[in-house]
Structure 1
Amino acid sequence: MAQVLEFKLPDLGEGLTEAEIVRWLVQVGDVVAVDQPVVEVETAKAMVEVPCPYGGVVTARFGEEGTELPVGAPLLTVAVGGSTAEPEGSGNVLVGYGTQAPAARRRRVRAAAAGTAAHNGHARQPASAHPSATASASPSASASAPASASAPMSAATATPASAPAPARAPSSASAGHARVAAAAPAHTEGPVPVISPLVRKLARDNGVDLRRLTGSGPDGLILRCDVEAALRTAAAPDHAVGEPAASPTTTTVGQTRVRTPAASSAQGGVRIPLKGVRGAVADKLSRSRREIPDATCWVDADATELMRARAAMNAAGGPKISLLALLARVCTAALARFPELNSYVDTEAREVVRLEHVHLGFAAQTERGLVVPVVRDAHARDAEALTAEFARLTEAARTGTLTPGELTGGTFTLNNYGVFGVDGSTPIINHPEAAMLGVGRIVPRPWVHEGELAVRQVVQLSLTFDHRVCDGGTAGGFLRYVADCVEQPAVLLRTL
């Protein structure tokens, strides 16, 4: 006898409490295997596929594409057991992780059979036999509420097995946003092919219905230029001149929050929701500023020899070495000498925890906001390996495909704000780390070299540190060692 189990949106980690459904990977009636990805969601950190811990027949889905769900909200129900079901339960429900078993062959079961499974009167059974230490995906028992295919439907209710999934209604811009005319007949079902999450976010923020656009990319893929073209040709705003615009609203249907895009306020300003990456960054920086008593010291360094050393490395053939990789190598060598800065403060235990491994984060500015990808075990990598990993993570950040594991667990951050053309900065420490090294732009400047005035390549280095983990002497010693390695790269030979 089949059981109907409910799979909920699992705990996303890093304080993330919600995710948006981007694309369903299964339909009602499909047979799924244990740990088969069933839905693609976008969080404040990245876009990931969610694997289902149960194997069986999908009897219902909760939420349409574009719907935002909180952690713990139902995603889908699966009928397990019986002749058509796979073995149930792996417990691997953390977003982005699973056993990655090969996906089962999908097939559609007859609507009558699926309807019978939904109406067989069995209650949703708890998944206590399949615990997960990191995810809250065990469904709650609801003996008095069996799955019903005839229940009224809403944005958060299940799609019955006896009917096809309803298409998402074309959206129109709220007040203050332009209405986009239909460029092509609207698609009624199926996912919309979009080149990246950034394009999807651009369309969502501006009220553009992607289903009404014709993509100029291969096979109708919607590109950024397609969305921008739709915005340029949009009609005038809905409200008349001088008429107050509607305020952004949030409607709650069940456990699903549906938010109207931000609109101009009566005072003429624009309200922008502090959500997604920007919201996560705001929360983390606010916590850092509240909890960490930080201080900053800085020094100017002559980077001429470092630039020459890099040019010599790249002239010798092989993969090119990036300047960021050399600076990262300097950081790991400095942290070996000053381990106090590779630590964090356990406020509850009132202890400083020193860490053995250096997981080096680096600030990366993307169209979705500021993210900090993490290079694992940076202390064990040479300059060539660091260059390759920086390139891989930067590309993933640009496309919005970083996994939660690639955005968490950093122990020290390297911030190269020189790429923005500035000399110095006093950044906010990436909580709960203890320090951040900032690197300004490298520019020609007058410099006294070997007793004579010369034009040298000069860079400003700054260190912002948690004053609870060390005093100024330790911080100054760390920064001075970094400056010495920049001025005389041969100093690094001692630690290679």
Structure 2
Amino acid sequence: MPVVREFTLPDLGEGLTGAEIIRWLVEVGEVIAVDQPVVEVETAKASVEVPCPYGGVVTARFGEPGEELPVGAPLVTVAVAGSEGSGPEEGGSEGSGNVLVGYGTADGRSGAPRRRRVRPGAAAPAAAPPASAVSAAPVMPAAPVAVAAPPARSGPVPVISPLVRRAAREHGIDLAALTGSGPDGLILRADVARAVAAAVSRETAPAAPAAPADRSDQGDAEVVPLRGLRRAVAEKLARSRREIPDATCWVDADATGLLELKDRLASGAGPRIGLLPLLARICTAALARHPELNAGVITDPDGTPTAIRRHRAVHLGFAAQTERGLVVPVVHDAHRLTTEQLAAEMARLTEAARSGTLTPADLTGGTFTLNNYGVFGVDGSTPILNHPEAAMLGVGRIAAKPWVHGGELAVRQVTQLSFTFDHRVCDGGTAGGFLRFVADCVEHPGELLRHL
């Protein structure tokens, strides 16, 4: 007798609480194998294919492309062969029981597989899906099972993070009156946002004038929803601007010597080393002299700063432009790598960013960011810090300019360096010392040997 098993959106790691469906990889009624990817989803970190640990016939899909689901929400139900007592935990053949954090169970890149445990006494899911699911396939039907209504909420209000409480408090939203869309009724930020939007709509609806029957500009505007990566970037930048008192200083530097070094390295044996790895090496040397800038500010639930966390390891992020938008891959333990190793790792991450195969681990954990906006042909910038980091080095385009060199006017390759920092972690003297050291290394790259 076939048994219908429900597969839910697994924990995607790195504190992610949900994902947006990009496209379905299977159809209702399709026979799938164990660990076959069934859906592609986009999180705030990356786009991944989610494998199903059960093999059998897909009886229902939950959600449509563009819809966001919380972790633990149903994805598909699968009719599997075998008795109800033989599951992944008992060694049944219908499922692997393995769901890696956000990836295929046979890949192995994200560590050892985890067992998916079924809670003792949990009822089997009904074969007939709810209204939000695609209609069930007319094959291998299972007897419907009554599902008990969720118990009434008691005790503290289930909230995902202090930021949700803060947002509710700022907008006068009663959390106890909300029904959370997360697992077990957990209240998410999206639930508060919907409540705020509903309140605003109620307040403005009576005073809103009737829309004219004919508007000449109706076809001149396009509304593009903030979703996936773009929404995550928008939220992070808004939080950074809201919480961090940043300041920027800048200096022009003669990069002629750095370009000559790059050309000499390119003519030798070994992997190609471009400007970005050389700048990354300069950053790690500068942070060794100014470790207070490899840091972040710790805040309490209300956003009040309480301490500064100084990192011992340098996890260097660098901005990379892709078709999906700007991403910041992270070179972990950059201070331990040689310049050749830095070049190889940055090339790997850049290619993964362009192909959309970066993992959540590749995009998280950064402690300092290098932003080479010169590739866009601009000289300077005052960027927003990559929260919760405390500092970012920006590098403008390198262009031929008149420059006093050796006491004479000459044409040199000049770049503008900018340094944006969280004023809570240091004063201007520390920031200026960091930037001056970077500029000296750009102008005289041989000086790096003193600090390596």
* Alignment TM-score, normalising by the size of structure 2: 0.71
CA drift of 1:51 comes to 3.3
The answer to whether structure 1 residue 73 and structure 2 residue 73 are counterparts is yes
Kindly provide the CA deviation profile for residues 184-205 of structure 1, in whole angstroms up to 9, marking residues without a partner as x: xxxxxxxxxxxxxxxxxxxxxx
Q: Give 2:126's match in structure 1, choosing from 147, 166, 182.
A: 147
Amino acid at match of 2:69: P
1:264-303 equivalence runs, <5 A: 266=218, 268-303=220-255
In the alignment, the residues of structure 2 paired with residue 23 and residue 87 of structure 1 have an alpha-carbon distance, to the nearest angstrom, of 21
Aligned partner of 2:283 in structure 1 is: 331
Aligned partner of 1:24 in structure 2 is: 25
Amino acid at match of 2:260: R
Kindly provide the CA deviation profile for residues 183-227 of structure 1, in whole angstroms up to 9, marking residues without a partner as x: xxxxxxxxxxxxxxxxxxxxxxxxxxxxxxxxxxxxxxxxxxxxx
Any unmatched runs of 5+ in structure 2? 109-113, 142-211
In the alignment, the residues of structure 1 paired with residue 115 and residue 369 of structure 2 have an alpha-carbon distance, to the nearest angstrom, of 40
1:57-136 equivalence runs, <5 A: 57=56, 60-63=59-62, 66=65, 68-71=67-70, 72-78=72-78, 79=80, 81-82=85-86, 85-86=92-93, 90=97, 92-96=99-103, 98=105, 100=107, 130=116
CA drift of 1:409 comes to 1.2
CA drift of 1:21 comes to 4.1
Distance 1:436 1:141, change over 3 A: farther
Distance 1:38 1:141, change over 3 A: farther
Aligned partner of 1:198 in structure 2 is: none
CA drift of 1:37 comes to 3.8
**Aligned partner of residue 226 in structure 2, secondary structure:** coil
Kindly provide the CA deviation profile for residues 326-363 of structure 1, in whole angstroms up to 9, marking residues without a partner as x: 00010011111111111111112711111111111111
**Aligned partner of residue 263 in structure 2, secondary structure:** helix
Aligned partner of 2:133 in structure 1 is: 156
Q: Give 1:312's match in structure 2, choosing from 238, 244, 264.
A: 264
Aligned partner of 1:362 in structure 2 is: 318
In the alignment, the residues of structure 2 paired with residue 44 and residue 370 of structure 1 have an alpha-carbon distance, to the nearest angstrom, of 12
Distance 1:268 1:27, change over 3 A: closer
Amino acid at match of 1:296: T
The answer to whether structure 1 residue 443 and structure 2 residue 399 are counterparts is yes
Aligned partner of 2:10 in structure 1 is: 10
Distance 1:398 1:160, change over 3 A: same
In the alignment, the residues of structure 1 paired with residue 370 and residue 290 of structure 2 have an alpha-carbon distance, to the nearest angstrom, of 16
CA drift of 1:26 comes to 8.1
Identity across matched positions, percent: 59
- Determine if contact 2:246/2:421 at 8 Å carries over to the other structure: yes
Kindly provide the CA deviation profile for residues 474-495 of structure 1, in whole angstroms up to 9, marking residues without a partner as x: 1111111111110111111123
Any unmatched runs of 5+ in structure 1? 102-127, 132-137, 165-241, 246-263
**Aligned partner of residue 296 in structure 2, secondary structure:** strand
**Aligned partner of residue 384 in structure 2, secondary structure:** coil
- Determine if contact 1:440/1:460 at 8 Å carries over to the other structure: yes
Equivalent pairs counted in the alignment come to 364
In the alignment, the residues of structure 1 paired with residue 426 and residue 334 of structure 2 have an alpha-carbon distance, to the nearest angstrom, of 22
- Determine if contact 1:7/1:139 at 8 Å carries over to the other structure: no
RMSD (Å) for aligned C-alpha atoms: 3.3
- Determine if contact 1:446/1:455 at 8 Å carries over to the other structure: yes
Aligned partner of 1:375 in structure 2 is: 331
**Aligned partner of residue 356 in structure 1, secondary structure:** coil
In the alignment, the residues of structure 2 paired with residue 156 and residue 46 of structure 1 have an alpha-carbon distance, to the nearest angstrom, of 25
In the alignment, the residues of structure 2 paired with residue 97 and residue 489 of structure 1 have an alpha-carbon distance, to the nearest angstrom, of 44
In the alignment, the residues of structure 1 paired with residue 136 and residue 32 of structure 2 have an alpha-carbon distance, to the nearest angstrom, of 16
Aligned partner of 1:193 in structure 2 is: none
CA drift of 1:268 comes to 3.7
Amino acid at match of 2:322: T
Amino acid at match of 1:359: H
- Determine if contact 2:20/2:65 at 8 Å carries over to the other structure: no
- Determine if contact 2:21/2:39 at 8 Å carries over to the other structure: no
- Determine if contact 2:25/2:37 at 8 Å carries over to the other structure: no
In the alignment, the residues of structure 1 paired with residue 420 and residue 332 of structure 2 have an alpha-carbon distance, to the nearest angstrom, of 22
Amino acid at match of 1:75: L
- Determine if contact 1:330/1:482 at 8 Å carries over to the other structure: yes
- Determine if contact 2:369/2:391 at 8 Å carries over to the other structure: yes
In the alignment, the residues of structure 1 paired with residue 36 and residue 291 of structure 2 have an alpha-carbon distance, to the nearest angstrom, of 42
- Determine if contact 2:284/2:335 at 8 Å carries over to the other structure: yes
In the alignment, the residues of structure 2 paired with residue 425 and residue 468 of structure 1 have an alpha-carbon distance, to the nearest angstrom, of 21
Distance 1:340 1:416, change over 3 A: same
CA drift of 1:272 comes to 1.5
Aligned partner of 1:46 in structure 2 is: 46
Distance 1:346 1:400, change over 3 A: same
In the alignment, the residues of structure 2 paired with residue 44 and residue 383 of structure 1 have an alpha-carbon distance, to the nearest angstrom, of 30
Distance 1:161 1:437, change over 3 A: farther
CA drift of 1:407 comes to 1.2
Distance 1:59 1:433, change over 3 A: same
Distance 1:22 1:244, change over 3 A: farther
- Determine if contact 1:341/1:434 at 8 Å carries over to the other structure: yes
The answer to whether structure 1 residue 421 and structure 2 residue 347 are counterparts is no
**Aligned partner of residue 253 in structure 2, secondary structure:** strand
In the alignment, the residues of structure 1 paired with residue 221 and residue 259 of structure 2 have an alpha-carbon distance, to the nearest angstrom, of 47
Name the structure where helix makes up a greater proportion of residues.
2
Aligned partner of 2:448 in structure 1 is: 492
Amino acid at match of 1:325: P
Aligned partner of 1:387 in structure 2 is: 343
Amino acid at match of 1:401: T
Kindly provide the CA deviation profile for residues 254-313 of structure 1, in whole angstroms up to 9, marking residues without a partner as x: xxxxxxxxxx97484221112222211111100000111111111111111111111111
In the alignment, the residues of structure 1 paired with residue 232 and residue 15 of structure 2 have an alpha-carbon distance, to the nearest angstrom, of 9
Distance 1:2 1:139, change over 3 A: farther
